[in-house]
Amino acid sequence: MEQAVNLWPLIGIAAIVVGFVLRFNPVLVVIAAGIITGLAALMPLDVILEKLGEGFLNTRNLPLILLLPLAVIGLLERHGLKERAQAWIAKIKSATAG
Check if the beta carbon of residue 31 is closer than 8 Å to that of residue 52: yes
32 neighbors 12 (Cβ within 8 angstroms): no
CA distance 40 to 33: 10
pLDDT at residue 68 in the model: 85
Same domain, 66 and 50: no
What confidence tens digit (pLDDT) does each residue in 65-95 have?
788 888 888 898 888 988 988 888 888 877 6
Q: What range defines the domain where residue 79 resides? A: 61-98
The CA-to-CA distance between both ends of the chain, in Å, stands at: 78
* pLDDT tens, residue by residue, 16-48: 999 999 999 999 999 999 999 999 999 999 999
Cα distances (angstroms) measured from residue 30 to each of 2, 9, 24: 33, 14, 10
Residue 69 and residue 53 share a domain: no
50 and 7 together in one domain = yes
Residues 88 and 73 in one domain: yes
Please tell me the predicted confidence (pLDDT) of residue 96: 67
> Rounded to two decimals, what is the model's pTM?
0.61
What pLDDT band is residue 98 in, cutting at 50, 70 and 90?
low
| Cβ partners under 8 Å of residue 67, min gap 6 | none
- CA 87, 91, 93, 94 torsion-angle sign: positive
